[in-house]
Amino acid sequence: MIKIQTLGRTSVAVAGEPLSGEAAWPKSLALLVYMAREPGPDRRDEILGVLWPDRDEKRARRALNQLLYTLRKSSPELTLESVEDAVDFGREVWLDVEEFERRLEAGDLKGAVELYEGPFLADLAVSEPDFDHWADRQRADLQRKFRKAALELAGQAREEGDLDGAVAYCRRLVDSDPLDDEAQHLLIESLYLHGDRLAALRQFEVYRDLLARELEVEPLEHTRELVDRIRDEPQPGEGELEPEVAVEGEARRRGEAVEEAAKPKPGGRGAPSRRDLIVAGSVAVVAVLAIIFWPWRPGAPGGAGREVVTAESLRVAVLPFWPHGLGDEDQGLSAGVAQLLAINLEESGSLEVVPHRVVLEAWERAGFSDATAFNAATLGALAGDMRATSLLLGDLHASGDEFRIVAELIGGRTGAVLARADVRGPRDNLFALLDELAVSLAEDVRAAADTAGGR
């Protein structure tokens, strides 16, 4: 059997063995996918028009014949047959796209959504306009079918009280198209109904930043109204949030000003080094958190007998980052990113970081390994278990050869956001991205500390 996968990642396997070498080159895969997707034997002139539209017929036919020869030589079991002026497969072909559509037609929405691992031929580029247009049409149609099925499943899950399922399907939709307004709205609402108010607000912030960066627009009004209702609803113990909320707002307002201030000035000494920024920012973290955090003391909940945290008692726990779009080869990377970021912060020498091993042990004890959402209460209990005064939460997104890392520093007791950073870049620059992330977090908190100190 020839097994062809096109959703999320393109690959072809014959009798269980993946094609390699020249047989796995983009144009080779493009030919096989096109032949498998188009019904019946494919006429050579149609193939030439899609894959070699700019060549004269003689040269295009020579290129096709050479490609067929390479495929047969690389994988004799591929059995490509020439029938008159057409080309066809000589054995059974399984194509994930056709299986996806069969499951939809049979009413197996869950099975179809599970099979949809990403956009059609998202990682295949052949730089042939006619083939790209053909792939774009296929991709849009399949994305529309996936979206319809996932939305229906999310709605069914909510009706049945399965909020875990609703959140999971909404996340699939958002991962598939982060700019989908309806999907983002449903995810925020589902997180809140699940009891995770903090995650709902975090999701809105991520979405709002994405729209501002990509489209320079605000979220739709009905989504902003939803978030306003979530923010306005009284929560237990929220009377103690004012100082942290003030820090969060000021940090956000001054984010761009801080970046500008870090640039070298004409005739000046230039921008401080990355290590200087991390050290200075870490000192600011200590200063801000020393004002607004109370220590975790067993048997002393409430107001009586609480003491202000000093620099010596400050402890930051960097939690495993939540992965989005990572492949099998990236398993464990989210925990590794957290460990490296913790090392960056610890090397500054200005604050205490909870050891990575302790974080993982507490994470496992709390049963968060398979969790999809967290609320302020559960995160607070986790911070208490580690005797951490603040938590660093993050998301690791993978898209092709690019990473995007989003991180937030939140109060361990109250869940208020103290600082937020968002970096992106090539996979090969992961270490540099983590350095940049640490600097960005430090700058954000330092700006808030300057403002707090001037009040």
Q: How many domains does the chain have?
A: 3
Tokens at 334, concatenated: 């989210």
Q: Are 311 and 410 within one domain?
A: yes
The pLDDT assigned to 333 comes to 78
Provide CB contacts within 8 A for 443, sequence distance 6+.
Answer: 258, 259, 262, 277, 281
Q: Supply the CATH number for residue 117's domain.
A: 1.10.10.10
Over residues 21-76, the pLDDT tens digits come to 888 888 889 989 998 888 766 678 888 888 888 888 888 888 888 888 888 887 77
Task: Of 166, 171, 165, 112, give the one whose Cα is nearest residue 142.
Answer: 112
Q: Are 75 and 214 within one domain?
A: no
Q: What are phi and psi of 331, to 5 degrees?
A: -60, 135
How confident is the model over 227-237, as a mean pLDDT?
74
Q: Are 195 and 140 within one domain?
A: no
Q: Are 119 and 190 within one domain?
A: no
The pLDDT assigned to 369 comes to 55
Distance CA 335, CA 416 (A): 23
One-character DSSP codes across 59-122: HHHHHHHHHHHHHHHH-GGG-EEEETTEEEESS-EEEHHHHHHHHHHTT-HHHHHHH--SSBTT
Domain span at residue 142 reads 1-159
Distance CA 191, CA 156 (A): 16
Q: What are phi and psi of 3, to 5 degrees?
A: -110, 120
Distance CA 138, CA 121 (A): 9
Q: Are 211 and 145 within one domain?
A: no
Tell me whether strands 390-399 and 11-14 are parallel, antiparallel or unpaired. unpaired
The pLDDT assigned to 190 comes to 95
Q: Supply the CATH number for residue 440's domain.
A: 3.40.50.10610
Q: Are 226 and 295 within one domain?
A: no
Segment among 2-6, 107-111, 132-136, 358-362 with least mean pLDDT: 358-362
Q: Are 134 and 183 within one domain?
A: no
Q: Are 249 and 148 within one domain?
A: no
Over residues 104-161, the pLDDT tens digits come to 999 999 999 999 999 999 888 888 888 999 999 999 999 999 999 999 999 999 999 9
Instruction: Give the number of other Cβ atoms within 10 Å of residue 193's Cβ.
Output: 14
Q: Are 124 and 206 within one domain?
A: no
CB 62 within 8 A of CB 104: no
**Per-state percent for the chain, helix, strand, coil, to nearest 5:** 55, 15, 30
Distance CA 428, CA 66 (A): 35
Over residues 400-425, the pLDDT tens digits come to 778 888 888 877 766 677 778 888 88
Q: Are 204 and 153 within one domain?
A: no
